[in-house]
Structure 1
Amino acid sequence: MEISCPVSAERVNEHVVRIIAFMVALTAIFSIFFDSYFPIVLLTFDFALRAFTTGKFSPLKFVAIQVSKALNLKPKMTDLAPKKFAATMGFVFCLLIVATFMLSLNTVSLILTSMLTIFALLESVFAICLGCYVYSILQILKKNNS
């Protein structure tokens, strides 16, 4: 089932998005394995660049575009709005992870980091964007309340 609720005609290459998600998962796993939340701080900034700007200066997006080109992946375009919403959710998740880590709520930060990893792997491996589903549901609710 494919859910699509574009706010505009803007599109994004799904292959690039999935490569970014894989790098997010690897970074989160690295963070857990080395018990360091500095990588999550870096993810916070990258999510912010992709969520609140065009993503032009996102290091993960830059690398993903280069990987996509190197693998000769034919662009597969999808709606941008749900992906931007998902990036916003990633940003919030990262803020929560960093905050809970700084407050010495290590179990909570580990759970949140594990959830971020699972969400990123679902997007990367299976093209299941949970943030996109939440976005679509919110659009339906918004439309029904109008």
Structure 2
Amino acid sequence: MANNNLDCPVDFVLINENRARMVAFLVLILGIICLAQLNWGVALFLLADFSLRTFNFNNYSPLSFLAGKLVTLFRTGNKPTDRAPKRFAALMGMIFNAVIALALIAHLITLAVVMLIILLICAALESLAGICVGCYVYTYLKKFGVIR
């Protein structure tokens, strides 16, 4: 992250940032589909995929698998970055998609739409601009003592 004022989590395990950004792009596409159709099945799929990535089961994540294939296909190469900020962002995505899925199932459409729009903004920033909103959230949570 270019901003030195951010306090991103670190675990000193490197992953390919291009693959992570491709996953975010796939989330963006699925999020748009979910928003257009208000489909709780898509939200549940995203919840499952975010959960797999949050708990470090990336090998079982369909989006991570597809992103790896697309990175190879488009020959974007390997750009090493620390894994921890992406896992934290996946945790945020998991929480958001749990709320989105429950809101859609309970017909709380306004809540679902607002949460989907926030998810889409985060996914767009990560995939298209390389801006990890999770690092900003983590920094503020740490600043206010919510996490150590």
TM-score, L = length of structure 1: 0.89
Equivalent position of 2:38 in the other structure: 35
Instruction: Tell me, yes or no, if structure 1 residue 24 matches structure 2 residue 35.
Output: no
Deviations 1:79-126 (A, max 9, x none): 111110000000000001011122221111111111111110111101
Describe the shift of the 1:4–1:14 C-alpha distance in structure 2 as closer, same or farther (beyond 3 A): farther
Instruction: Tell me, yes or no, if structure 1 residue 115 matches structure 2 residue 124.
Output: no
Instruction: Give RMSD over aligned pairs.
Output: 1.9
User: Which of 6, 9, 16 lines up with 1:13 in the alignment?
Assistant: 16
Q: Secondary structure at the match of 2:81?
A: strand
Cα separation, 2, equivalents of 1:124 and 1:15: 9
Instruction: Tell me, yes or no, if structure 1 residue 106 matches structure 2 residue 109.
Output: yes
Residue 135 of structure 1 and its aligned partner are, at CA, apart by: 2.1
User: Which of 35, 46, 62 lines up with 2:65 in the alignment?
Assistant: 62
Cα separation, 1, equivalents of 2:26 and 2:104: 21
Deviations 1:20-68 (A, max 9, x none): 0011011011111122121111000000000012411000000001110
Describe the shift of the 1:94–1:70 C-alpha distance in structure 2 as closer, same or farther (beyond 3 A): same
Equivalent position of 1:79 in the other structure: 82
Q: Secondary structure at the match of 1:104?
A: coil
Identical residues among aligned pairs (%)? 35
Equivalent position of 2:137 in the other structure: 134
Verify the 8 A CA contact 2:9 2:135 in the aligned structure 1: no
Q: Secondary structure at the match of 1:56?
A: helix
Verify the 8 A CA contact 1:5 1:79 in the aligned structure 2: no
Q: Secondary structure at the match of 1:74?
A: coil
- Unmatched 5+ residue regions in structure 1? none
